[in-house]
C-alpha cells in the first residue's frame, strides 16, 4: 500500500524568526496600551485629588454646625470675598485667575451639595441638635484656610499637566479611589468638573 506524499514538510520557525515574532507581538501590545503621564505628574494629580477629598471631608462638619445654629447653607457675600482673595493669590502663584475662580466656586458648590443632602436627611429623620457642635470660626474655617494655598499650588501643577497625554484618563480613574463622598459621586463630579474640562482640551 502506497502512501501519498504531499511533498516537503513545512519547516518550523528558526530561533531568530521566533524571537522576531515575539518582539513584534510585544511591541503591538505596548502600542495598544493608552499613554500614561510620567510618575511626577501622577503624584501631582494624586495630591490634587487628595486635597479635594480633604476639603469635601469638611462639609459634614459644616453641616452639623449650621444645623445647630440654623445658619443658612448659602453665604454669597462670604463666598464672593473668598473668591476675590483666591483670585489674587492664584495670580501671584502664576495660576490663571478665571481657572482658579471656577475651580474654587465648584468646591463651594460641592460642599453645599453635601450639606443640603445631609440636612435633608436629618429633617426626614426628625433629628435634634448635635451634642458639642463644632465652632465654624474657631475649628472649621482654619482647616479650610490651610487647604486653600495648598489647592492653589496644586492648581499650578494642573495647569502644567492639563495637556499631558493620558492625564485626563488618569485623573478620572484615580478620582474614584482618592475622592470619596456619600452621594453616588455627584459632589465629586461637581468638584472635579473644572479639571475635567481643562484636561479635555
pLDDT in tens, 102-142: 999 999 999 999 999 999 999 999 999 999 888 999 999 99
Kindly report, residue by residue over 6-15, the tens digit of the pLDDT: 444 445 557 6
> What is the per-residue pLDDT for 5?
44
Q: Over the chain, what is the mean pLDDT?
A: 88
> What is the per-residue pLDDT for 1?
45
Mean local confidence (pLDDT), 68-75: 94
At 182, is the pLDDT very low, low, confident or very high (cuts 50, 70, 90)?
A: confident
Instruction: At 80, list the grid cell.
Output: 464672593
Measured distance CA(74)–CA(50) in Å, rounded: 25
DSSP secondary structure string for all residues of 130-192: PSSPPPIIIIIHHHHHHHHHHHHHHHHHHHHHTTSTTHHHHHHHHHHHH---SSTTHHHHHHH
Measured distance CA(150)–CA(145) in Å, rounded: 9
Measured distance CA(175)–CA(52) in Å, rounded: 10
pTM, two decimals, is: 0.82
Amino acid at each position: 500500500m502506497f502512501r501519498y506524499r504531499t511533498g516537503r514538510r513545512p519547516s518550523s520557525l528558526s530561533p531568530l524568526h521566533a524571537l522576531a515574532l515575539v518582539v513584534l507581538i510585544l511591541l503591538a501590545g505596548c502600542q495598544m496600551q493608552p499613554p500614561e503621564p510620567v510618575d511626577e505628574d501622577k503624584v501631582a494629580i494624586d495630591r490634587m485629588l487628595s486635597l479635594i477629598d480633604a476639603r469635601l471631608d469638611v462639609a459634614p462638619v459644616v453641616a452639623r454646625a449650621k444645623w445647630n445654629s440654623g445658619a443658612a447653607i448659602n453665604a454669597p457675600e462670604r463666598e464672593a470675598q473668598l473668591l476675590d482673595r483666591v483670585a489674587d493669590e492664584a495670580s501671584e502663584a502664576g495660576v490663571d485667575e478665571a481657572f482658579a475662580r471656577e475651580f474654587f466656586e465648584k468646591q463651594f458648590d460641592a460642599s453645599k451639595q453635601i450639606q443640603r443632602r445631609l440636612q435633608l436627611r436629618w429633617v426626614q429623620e426628625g433629628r435634634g441638635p448635635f451634642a458639642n457642635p463644632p465652632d465654624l470660626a474657631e475649628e472649621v474655617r482654619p482647616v479650610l484656610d490651610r487647604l486653600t494655598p495648598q489647592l492653589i499650588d496644586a492648581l499650578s501643577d494642573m495647569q502644567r499637566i492639563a495637556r499631558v497625554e493620558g492625564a485626563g484618563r488618569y485623573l478620572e480613574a484615580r478620582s474614584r479611589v482618592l475622592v470619596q463622598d456619600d452621594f453616588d459621586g455627584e459632589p465629586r463630579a461637581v468638584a472635579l468638573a473644572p479639571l475635567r474640562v481643562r484636561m479635555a482640551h
